[in-house]
Structure 1
Amino acid sequence: MSHPHPELSTPAELAKGGLRITPLGGLGEVGRNMTVFEYDDRLLIVDCGVLFPEDHQPGIDLILPDFDSIRDRLDRVEALVLTHGHEDHIGATPYLLRERGDIPLVGSELTLALLGSKLREHRLRETVHHVVVAGERISFGPFDLEFVAVNHSIPDALAVAIRTGAGLVLHTGDFKMDQLPLDGRITDLNAFARLGDEGVDLFLTDSTNAETPGFTPTEKSITPVIDQVFRDSHQRIIVACFASHVHRVQQVLDAADRHGRKVGYVGRSMVRNMAIASDLGYLHVPPGVVVDTKELAALPPEKQVLVSTGSQGEPMSALSRIAQRSHNFVHIEEGDTVLLASSLIPGNENAVYRVINGLARWGANVVHKGNALVHVSGHASAGELLYCYNIVKPRNVLPVHGEIRHLLANAALARATGVENVVIAEDGMVVDLVDGVASIAGKVDCGYVFVDGSSVGDVTESDLKDRRILGEEGFISIIVVVDSVTGKVSSGPEIHARGNALDEASFEDIKQPIVDALDRAIAEGNTDSYQLQQTVRRVVGRWVSNTHRRRPMIIPVVIEA
């Protein structure tokens, strides 16, 4: 088994007739999925998604894949294939299209429809797109693509088989093997087996649930729980889920219809996505069940159901604002029921529990994954992965989509079924498939690209470190005026602090040591304002650390007058 090596060098030129695979996101994290395939000097991209920020990345809206390694070769991209419509697979596409707007987009009907609305939000014109269906084959340059139906937590998901002169690659995208899907569309294991008989040279497999034994429960298994919630609730019901989880919304609509309730959507992305899914026939709305939220508000509470965004505790989402009682028109009342019908994405736990506590404080009964079976995963568990390895019989395996522990668990499953060559890679590691053997060939730079408001890529890790310091320790500013003729301090130090417990009186003891340190520095010939500011920073930093055990940001200003 190949393991990542921290000292990998820039990859050498690709061997003639070889296929190069470079993951730019999604390996070592859950999100930001993007993989670049290179053959005969042409490129194919599979997925282009975002990663959502965690608590240690304050102020960041989104995290994008790093396009640097392909930026000077975007003219060689034959197509961008999108396996399904989740944000972690399509969300970064507008940012890529800003750099080359005519990349052909390939995906299923629902996936491209969801992306189309996103492009319009970004005020980008829709580029050439190819709507494909399961079983279809289409070629782009040297890449011959075949699409395979897979089951996931969003309709119309596809795996993609990529044929080149270097061999056959099968990329599952996100998938599971639900045998009782709500839409009747199961993962096409027959196609997987057929491709296996043809000979799969490299199998890229979803790793998210590789640590979970057995099989992922069916979507239908939670229908009785949702029904129970509707039976037991005597006031308004609020259901929070992902804005793209069409299957979950379908279950809520059906339950509302059975129990005589009306449904309204809350949250811009929820309204938009459900309208798209309904128009295309992926969401079947019982007659008269969905109404405008204003019409819903006029009904008795026991007739109301709200379907909302915010199941991950996102600060600006509808549910978070409801929990804080700052929503425009939805206010929690004693006895309301809130159903969080989603999983917890790693890193979001604190935010979600903060929302749950906020809702409970106002008297809501909160039903969530911790106390009821209200969500099932959209990813294949260990039993399903073993099944796939046995029918595909791949020569090489590259686990994708997951944190390191997920990739390693998936690799162990592959080896247990007899796969001899399993490559463990992380973002930026280059894997070459040459003469039927996959191996790590080097590494390209592949950092996080942060989106902060309208700024893309301008915020660095150093900026985030400063933000964390400001958030945790506050800051101290010191202003000192030095007479340019005498070289003596003529005014100050004037010291101000914010975000910590230090007040004006706290700084009396340090003012004279600042003046003394500046006098010594100037006497030694250090008259440069930057050097003098560093002197002030050292003196104040040492004092505040020793005296108050704090490490705030220190902002010294030395003015010569």
Structure 2
Amino acid sequence: MTTVFTDRLNQPPKLKKDALRVIPLGGLGDVGRNMSVLEYGGRLLVIDCGVLFPEESQPGVDLILPDFDHIAERLGDVAAIVLTHGHEDHIGAVPYLLRLKPDIPLVGSQLTLALVEAKLREHRITPYTLAVKEGQTEQFGPFACEFVAVNHSIPDALAVYVETPAGSVLHTGDFKMDQLPLDGRITDLRAFARLGEKGVDLFMVDSTNAEVPGFTTGEQEIGPVIDAIFGRARQKIVVASFSSHVHRVQQVLDAAARHDRKVAFVGRSMVRNMGIAAEMGYLHVPDGVLIDVKQINDIPDDRMVLMCTGSQGEPMAALGRIANRDHRVSVGPGDVVILASSLIPGNENAVFRVVNGLMALGAEVIHKGNAKVHTSGHASAGELLYCYNIVRPKNVMPVHGEIRHLIANGRVAQSTGIPAERIVLARDGQVVDLRDGEARVVGEIPNGYVYVDGSSVGEISEADLKDRRVLGDEGFISIFAVVNSETGALIAGPEIHARGVAEDDSVFEKLRPDIVAALEKAVADQADRRDTYQLQQVMRRVVGRYASQRLRRRPMIMPVVVEV
């Protein structure tokens, strides 16, 4: 396999007229932030535009976006943004891209566009949209796009087959091969086979479950487990899931109807998304089952089900706030909490923190680790084998996953007889050119994380996050001194104050003589000029050395010298 994960490459050359360029801006190395750009004949086609959720090492960050810099000056060349499905890691960054140019056409299935339009209304953006369905073909500039039905953990997911004079690309989006899906809409392998016969020059394949052997469990196997839990529960039931998992919510509604329980949606995104799904006919709500969350106090606990967000341990989502006793909903002994979701890599600590908090309150917590209450929306290795054997592509480019997932997907492809040199393993920012039926990495563009922090977008840097981590882990020490502007003599201070350091300020009293001596020496060395910055660095070094050697800490140190 052609892998360049560790190499740093040069800028890619100018695109040749007979080549198709693929530029992954997200999703290759992370589970999320999915975005790829296809370029041909001076025009661009964007496939997906999603977000990545922050880890604990990124304190204060709300969302992580793809880096749009490479296309920011060429948005007029974008023929369309094609969205494969309505999950946040595929549509969540659309508002931030359309802020730059609101009239770029958005293309996707009916449900996908409804979900993204609801997000855009919050950003006061009215998009130009084109709803498509499986079997439909549309032309966007030089890109002829055919849409193929695929099964996923949200209705109306699509793969896209893109034809250009330089070659063809089949992008699966996220998919699996559930043969008995709840909505009866299976992955269209007949279309995959037909496109394979037509010719697939580059097969871009979902890698999320490539390490998992066999086949992904069908959704129909989850319903009876949920039903059994409802049957034995004697008090309140709380179910946490992704706010777009229509199939899981449908199973909860059906189980509630069978056991004479009421259901309330908790969490703004859950209420919004399920309202859209119900209005469009993707979610079927049994009569009399659904109530407003404001009515929950009128319903006995043994007849109440709460369907909420927060299955990934997000501190501000409903379940996290319930665990922290910071929500109108409370849980206690006898209540049952079901985590109906998979763990997104990197979220393990946050999720189990919430689980521990709920169990400390007395609730029984059921999750994928101890019961079959969730199944993945992604194809496992056995399903990927089928796809490679059906499509028989000329080249393969694994997408959507961490590096280990991409490598595992590449190995699956190679096991079906695809030559190793035709399997391209790349990371975000590495440019792949398809020319004369061969795909290869030709260079790399700058590509980094873009952080959303409150109302700021892209203003937070890695250095800022490092400062936040230091403040959180090591604490903060400030030193203030006043010196004579003419003589440099110390007039006041140094005053030392510590925050987030176990020792109180009195510990630093013995350090004052050392700081004074260091300042006096520095002033003597600066007889011809006064440099307050140098004096500040002198104080920083003295305090830093003391904190490191005596306290075994490396706090953030903020020295201030004022001349009067």
Q: Same fold (TM over 0.5)?
A: yes
Correspondence for 1:360: 359
Correspondence for 2:407: 408
Offset of residue 268 of structure 1: 0.6
Correspondence for 1:192: 192
Please tell me the residue identity of whatever aligns with 1:445.
P
Correspondence for 1:9: 10
2:375 is aligned with 1:376: yes
C-alpha separation in 1, matches of 2:276 and 2:176: 24
**Helix, strand or coil at the partner of 1:493:** strand
C-alpha separation in 1, matches of 2:233 and 2:423: 50
CA RMSD of aligned residues (A): 0.8
**Helix, strand or coil at the partner of 1:138:** strand
C-alpha separation in 1, matches of 2:111 and 2:245: 12
Please tell me the residue identity of whatever aligns with 1:331.
S
Q: What does the per-residue CA deviation read over 1:104-136, in whole Å, with 9 as the maximum and x for residues that have no partner?
A: 0000000000001000111212x2100000000
Offset of residue 167 of structure 1: 1.3
Give the alignment of 1:211-226 within 5 angstroms: 211-226=211-226
Q: Which of 220-229 and 100-109 deviates more?
A: 220-229
Counterpart selection for 1:550 from 548, 553, 564: 553
2:297 is aligned with 1:288: no
C-alpha separation in 2, matches of 1:524 and 1:298: 78
Q: Which of 170-179 and 7-16 deviates more?
A: 7-16
Offset of residue 418 of structure 1: 1.0
Please tell me the residue identity of whatever aligns with 2:23.
T
C-alpha separation in 1, matches of 2:22 and 2:168: 13
2:518 is aligned with 1:520: no
Could you tell me which runs of 5 or more consecutive residues in structure 1 were left unpaired when the two chains were aligned: none
Correspondence for 1:350: 349
Offset of residue 527 of structure 1: 2.1
Please tell me the residue identity of whatever aligns with 1:112.
L
**Helix, strand or coil at the partner of 1:226:** helix
Correspondence for 2:148: 148
2:546 is aligned with 1:507: no
Correspondence for 1:299: 299
Could you tell me which runs of 5 or more consecutive residues in structure 2 were left unpaired when the two chains were aligned: none
Please tell me the residue identity of whatever aligns with 1:408.
I
C-alpha separation in 2, matches of 1:522 and 1:178: 76
C-alpha separation in 2, matches of 1:453 and 1:260: 42
**Helix, strand or coil at the partner of 1:514:** helix
Correspondence for 1:417: 416
Correspondence for 2:335: 336
Counterpart selection for 2:538 from 505, 527, 535: 535
Determine if contact 2:151/2:175 at 8 Å carries over to the other structure.
yes
**Helix, strand or coil at the partner of 1:398:** strand
C-alpha separation in 2, matches of 1:359 and 1:3: 44
C-alpha separation in 2, matches of 1:209 and 1:485: 69
**Helix, strand or coil at the partner of 1:440:** strand
Offset of residue 502 of structure 1: 2.0
Please tell me the residue identity of whatever aligns with 1:228.
A
C-alpha separation in 2, matches of 1:82 and 1:534: 52
Determine if contact 2:485/2:530 at 8 Å carries over to the other structure.
no
2:237 is aligned with 1:237: yes
Aligned residues: 559
C-alpha separation in 2, matches of 1:123 and 1:514: 55
2:469 is aligned with 1:468: yes
C-alpha separation in 1, matches of 2:159 and 2:505: 64
Correspondence for 2:452: 451
Please tell me the residue identity of whatever aligns with 1:367.
I
Q: What does the per-residue CA deviation read over 1:439-468, in whole Å, with 9 as the maximum and x for residues that have no partner?
A: 001000000000000000000000000000
C-alpha separation in 2, matches of 1:2 and 1:358: 46
Correspondence for 2:393: 394
Give the alignment of 1:2-401 within 5 angstroms: 2-4=2-4, 5-125=6-126, 127-327=127-327, 329-401=328-400
C-alpha separation in 1, matches of 2:370 and 2:157: 30
C-alpha separation in 1, matches of 2:189 and 2:486: 85
Structure 1 stretches of at least 4 aligned residues deviating more than 3 Å after TM superposition: none
Offset of residue 486 of structure 1: 2.2
Please tell me the residue identity of whatever aligns with 1:254.
D
**Helix, strand or coil at the partner of 1:380:** coil
C-alpha separation in 2, matches of 1:294 and 1:71: 45
Please tell me the residue identity of whatever aligns with 1:268.
R
2:499 is aligned with 1:498: yes
Offset of residue 270 of structure 1: 0.4
**Helix, strand or coil at the partner of 1:345:** coil
Offset of residue 100 of structure 1: 0.7
Please tell me the residue identity of whatever aligns with 1:370.
G
C-alpha separation in 2, matches of 1:117 and 1:141: 27
Q: Which of 330-339 and 90-99 deviates more?
A: 330-339
Please tell me the residue identity of whatever aligns with 1:534.
Q
Offset of residue 7 of structure 1: 2.4
**Helix, strand or coil at the partner of 1:406:** helix
Correspondence for 1:488: 489
C-alpha separation in 2, matches of 1:24 and 1:320: 31
Offset of residue 483 of structure 1: 1.1
Please tell me the residue identity of whatever aligns with 2:100.
E
C-alpha separation in 2, matches of 1:293 and 1:268: 11
C-alpha separation in 1, matches of 2:471 and 2:506: 21
**Helix, strand or coil at the partner of 2:486:** coil
C-alpha separation in 2, matches of 1:424 and 1:27: 9
